[in-house]
């Protein structure tokens, strides 16, 4: 298996006036293509900082981060934006759909920034929505969809660029138990289809769906183990 | 992201907040339409004055009593400045003294009542010589002008303007009719051709022209002073020369220097200049006020764009997370602000043009729309959008995606 993510000696320090705060204190992680990894940790553990760095939303103060063969440590904002667009699909806790746009337009959004033609965008966005089971809801606005459906639109948006990495930040945090099962089931399917998924959560039972869990505490990885109850299809 | 795509998403954002966008645009609409209308009013007034003065003839010198202090004012009290006489006019008519003059028409002017049957009409009585039609470039539509012999005798004949004719006689032919002035009967021998539209109170088309002696008799005056001497130069090229000759001659006759002369000589150019100066002052003044409202409109656009950036922090964060580079975000907000400005400009021009068509119906004033002013207004509104969009757009572009996504 080739490594899709390689973090080496990653540190992140925040400065606020004279006060320094070390959110990450030396993280080394290697994630292979097709892995389904859960990152678990209480709030304040450095979990969000790690997610930001993995998502190229932020750069480490020290250390290096190689994503799909590209070292991202020295890139500027515009280059990071391009990497996010091509390599990473985000699923957020708050869905982050644009309320004034239809589901289809929402899913098209990353393709607009990728510079695809309108016809191509339509086709691929409709395809991605069909894949998450929303082929009948293309023209619905987020306000007309249930929470679970909204999150599935967000998953479709994350998939539409065929990214190397699907990064899900507490994707079930705002969902009821039925929608939670729904969305986690979708992630399982994607994993079975060979996607690399990093899931950030503080819920043990959500993390249990992944094949591998990383526990982060106080800016350090304290545990890295294959999950005993790994569902069928875990290939790592 | 293509420009077309950016414009589309800008339009979508503007549509999403219709009321807010409309209110923002309102400032620019008012600014642009008032700029167009004030400039149009100024130019319309200027054109009208130029047309009127053109009708006087471009080779005309107008000699008036009273000294000229500058191009726009006469010194000398009412009635006290009747320093021009028939003898002065006769002297100017002397070919040796003023070789560049082709005609001289002294005129007296007073207001009289003309009575025809039971119709009574007050008009201005102009007493003059036979040179008057040539010097003033006036023609007759019917009848004839008075002859030298009639002028000599002070015959009881009059040539009347077309307005006067229709007021006194309606559709009847005025030639050969009698009118009475202060009890004296005079015969109408001719009717003038209209001198063209005039919006000023004293119409050139409402006059009764009589020999100068007749005029004195009718109003019971024995004075030989005249109110104006019109001098026609041979042609436009020698107008300046004629001006100097008349000035020197009159100064000599009156025993004054040309610096503190007791008369003034105006040309068509100096009249145009005076009128235009007044118009320009008004145009600049009103245009300035309109410009300020444009500026306020621009600040309105900036205000709304700043609100929009604050309100859409999460959207900006999401767009950045999905791969929008800072430059793309900046462009999006700039395009949005420009579209607001441009929309305001277009609506403002529409209102301005419609206003220019409607306004002359309510006020007696032509409004001319200038293409240059319209294009400048459009460019200004676009520039306002871009100019006042730069700061909010920069703010949006600088937001970091993490902070933006996390904001509630």
Instruction: Residue A129: give its domain's CATH number.
Output: 3.40.50.300
Residue A29 lies in a domain: no
Q: For residue B408, name the pLDDT band (cuts at 50, 70, 90).
A: low
- Whole-Å CA distances, B33 to A17, B296, B300, B350, B368: 52, 14, 16, 8, 13
**Cα Rg, chain A, nearest whole Å:** 18
- Is the CB of residue B87 less than 8 Å away from at least one CB of chain A? no
User: Could you tell me the residue range of the domain that residue A39 belongs to?
Assistant: 34-59+76-226
Nearest to A78 among B314, B326, B401 (CB): B326
**Residue with more model confidence, B318 or B94:** B318
Host H or E run for residue B293: helix B268-311
The answer on pLDDT for A196 being more than 90 is: yes
Chain A nearest C-alpha distance from B320 (Å): 7
Separation in Å, CA of A110 to nearest CA in chain B: 5
Q: Do B1 and A109 touch (CB under 8 A)?
A: no
> Cβ contact (<8 Å) for A96 and B401?
no
In a domain, A112, yes or no: yes
CA B37/CA B361 separation, integer angstroms:
14
Query: Would you say residue A131 lies in a domain?
Result: yes
Q: Is B1 in CB contact (< 8 Å) with chain A?
A: yes
By residue count, chain A amounts to: 236
* Nearest partner of B263 among B36, B14, B79, B65, judged by Cα: B65
Query: Rounded to the nearest 5°, which phi and psi values hold at A194?
Result: 100, 10
Chain A residues close to B2, C-beta within 8 Å: 115
Whether A3 maps to a domain, the answer reads no
Identify whether A231 is part of a domain.
no
Q: Which band of pLDDT confidence, cut at 50, 70 and 90, is reported for residue B67?
A: low
- Please report residues of B whose CB lies closer than 8 A to that of A113: 1, 319, 322-324, 328
Whether the pLDDT of residue A234 is over 50: the answer is no
The reply to whether A83 falls in a domain is yes
Chain B residue with minimal CA distance to A83?
B323
Q: What is the mean pLDDT of residues A109-128?
A: 92
Q: Look at residue B73 and tell me whether its pLDDT is greater than 50.
A: no
Kindly state the average pLDDT of the residues B389-395.
Answer: 90
Domain locations along chain B: 3-51+274-406, 82-261
CA nearest to B44, candidates B310, B373, B408: B373
Average pLDDT over residues B218-235: 84
Q: Give contacts of B 263-322 with A, CB under 8 A.
A: 314-315, 317-322
Residue A235: its pLDDT value, please? Answer: 43
Query: How far is the C-alpha of B286 from the C-alpha of B308, rounded, in Å?
Result: 33
Instruction: Report chain B's mean pLDDT, rounded to a whole number.
Output: 83
The answer to whether A146 contacts chain B (CB < 8 Å) is no
What share of chain B in percent tops pLDDT 70? 92
Residue A229 has pLDDT above 60, yes or no: no
Instruction: Output the pLDDT for position A165.
Output: 93
Asked whether residue A43 is domain-assigned, the answer is yes
Q: pLDDT digit string (tens) for A51-78?
A: 999 999 988 999 999 998 889 888 888 9
Q: A-B interface: how many C-beta pairs under 8 angstroms? A: 59
Contact B323 A114 (CB under 8 A): yes
**pLDDT on residue A228:** 57
Higher pLDDT, B137 or A172: A172
Q: Say if residue B196's pLDDT is above 80.
A: no
Rounded Cα distance between A185 and A183, Å, is 5
- Residues of chain A in contact with residue B328, where contact means CB-CB under 8 angstroms, are 81, 113
**Nearest beta carbon to residue B325 from set A58, A81, A100:** A81
Q: Where does the pLDDT of residue B261 fall: very low under 50, low under 70, confident under 90, or very high at 90 and above?
A: confident
Distances (CA, A) of A4 to A34, A211, A227, B320: 9, 16, 20, 23
Q: Which of the two residues, B383 and B77, has the higher pLDDT score?
A: B383
Alpha helices by DSSP H, A88-168: 103-114, 118-131, 147-159
At residue B342, does pLDDT exceed 50?
yes
Mutate to test the interface with A, among B321, B326, B327 (most CBs of A within 10 A): B321
Q: Which of B19, B31, B23 is nearest to B378 (CA)?
A: B31
**pLDDT computed for residue B247 by the predictor:** 86
Confidence check on the interface: ipTM exceeds 0.85, yes or no: yes
Q: If you measure CA to CA, which chain A residue comes closest to B327?
A: A78
Share above pLDDT 90 across residues of chain B, in percent, rounded to a whole number: 12
Taking each continuous run of H as one helix and of E as one strand, the counts in chain A are 7, 10
DSSP A137: G
- A46 in B contact zone (CB under 8 Å): no
B314 vs B395: CA distance, rounded Å: 14
pLDDT classification of B23: cutoffs 50, 70, 90: confident
Q: Give yes or no for A58 touching B (CB within 8 A).
A: yes
pLDDT value of residue B145: 92
List the single range of A33-47, B13-27, B335-349 with lowest mean pLDDT.
B13-27
Q: How confident is the model at residue B201 (pLDDT cuts 50, 70, 90)?
A: very low
* Contact status of A230 with chain B (Cβ, < 8 Å): no
Which chain B residues are closer than 8 Å to A98 by Cβ? Answer: 315, 318
Q: Indicate whether A205 belongs to any domain.
A: yes
Q: Give A115's contacts in chain B (Cβ within 8 Å).
A: 1-2
Count of Cβ atoms closer than 10 Å to residue B400 Cβ: 15
**Strands A36-40 and B73-75: what pairing?**
unpaired
Q: Is A38:A199 a contact under the CB 8 Å cutoff?
A: yes
Provide the token pair at A195.
């996607």
Number of domains in chain A: 1
Assess whether pLDDT exceeds 80 at residue B170: yes
């Amino acid at each position: 298996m080739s490594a899709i993510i390689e973090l080496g000696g990653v540190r992140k320090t925040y400065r606020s006036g004279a006060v320094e705060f070390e959110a990450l204190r030396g993280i080394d992680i290697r994630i292979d293509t097709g892995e389904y990894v859960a990152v678990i940790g209480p709030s304040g553990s450095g979990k969000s900082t790690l997610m930001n760095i993995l998502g190229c939303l932020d750069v480490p103060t020290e250390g290096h981060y190689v994503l799909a063969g590209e070292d991202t440590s020295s890139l500027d904002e515009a280059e990071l934006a391009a990497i996010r667009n091509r390599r990473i699909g985000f699923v957020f806790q708050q869905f982050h759909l644009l309320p004034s746009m239809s589901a289809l337009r929402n899913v098209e959004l990353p393709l607009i920034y990728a510079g695809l033609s309108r016809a191509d965008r339509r086709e691929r966005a409709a395809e991605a929505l069909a894949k998450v089971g929303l082929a009948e809801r293309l023209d619905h606005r987020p306000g007309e969809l249930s929470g679970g459906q909204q999150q599935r639109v967000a998953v479709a948006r994350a998939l539409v660029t065929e990214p190397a990495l699907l990064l899900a930040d507490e994707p079930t945090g705002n969902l009821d138990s039925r929608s939670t099962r729904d969305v986690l089931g979708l992630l399982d399917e994607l994993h079975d289809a060979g996607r690399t998924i990093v899931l950030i959560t503080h819920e043990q039972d959500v993390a249990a769906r992944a094949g591998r869990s990383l526990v982060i505490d106080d800016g350090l990885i304290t545990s890295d183990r294959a999950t005993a109850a790994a569902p069928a299809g875990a290939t790592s | 992201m293509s420009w077309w795509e950016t414009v589309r998403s800008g339009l979508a954002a503007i549509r999403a907040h219709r009321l807010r966008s409309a209110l923002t645009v309102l400032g620019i609409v008012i600014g642009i339409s008032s700029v167009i209308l004030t400039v149009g009013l100024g130019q319309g007034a200027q054109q009208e004055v130029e047309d009127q003065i053109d009708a006087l003839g471009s080779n005309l010198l107008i000699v008036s009593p009273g000294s000229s202090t500058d191009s726009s004012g006469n010194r000398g009290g009412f009635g006290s400045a009747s320093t021009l006489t028939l003898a002065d006019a006769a002297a100017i008519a002397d070919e040796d003294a003023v070789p560049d003059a082709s005609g001289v028409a002294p005129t007296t002017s007073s207001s009289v009542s003309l009575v025809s049957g039971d119709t009574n009409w007050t008009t201005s009585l102009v007493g003059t010589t036979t040179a008057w039609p040539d010097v003033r470039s006036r023609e007759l539509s019917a009848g004839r002008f008075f002859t030298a012999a009639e002028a000599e005798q002070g015959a009881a004949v009059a040539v009347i303007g077309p307005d006067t004719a229709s007021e006194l006689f309606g559709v009847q032919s005025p030639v050969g009719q009698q009118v009475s002035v202060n009890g004296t009967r005079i015969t109408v021998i001719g009717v003038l051709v209209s001198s063209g539209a005039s919006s000023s109170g004293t119409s050139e088309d409402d006059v009764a022209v009589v020999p100068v002696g007749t005029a004195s008799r009718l109003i019971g005056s024995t004075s030989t002073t005249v109110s104006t001497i019109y001098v026609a130069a041979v042609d436009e090229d020698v107008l300046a020369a004629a001006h100097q000759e008349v000035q020197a001659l009159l100064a000599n006759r009156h025993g004054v220097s040309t610096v503190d002369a007791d008369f003034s000589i105006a040309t068509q150019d100096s009249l145009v200049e005076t009128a235009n100066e007044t118009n320009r002052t008004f145009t600049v003044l009103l245009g300035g006020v309109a410009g300020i409202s444009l500026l306020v409109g621009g600040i309105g656009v900036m205000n709304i764009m700043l609100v929009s950036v604050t309100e859409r922090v999460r959207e900006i964060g999401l767009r950045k997370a999905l791969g929008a580079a800072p430059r793309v975000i900046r462009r999006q907000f700039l395009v949005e602000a420009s579209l607001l400005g441009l929309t305001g400009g277009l609506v403002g021009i529409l209102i301005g043009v419609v206003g220019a068509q409607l306004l002359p119906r309510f006020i007696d004033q032509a409004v001319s729309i200038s293409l240059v002013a319209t294009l400048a207004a459009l460019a200004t509104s676009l520039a306002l959008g871009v100019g006042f969009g730069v700061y909010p757009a920069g703010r949006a572009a600088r937001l970091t995606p993490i902070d933006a996504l996390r904001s509630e």
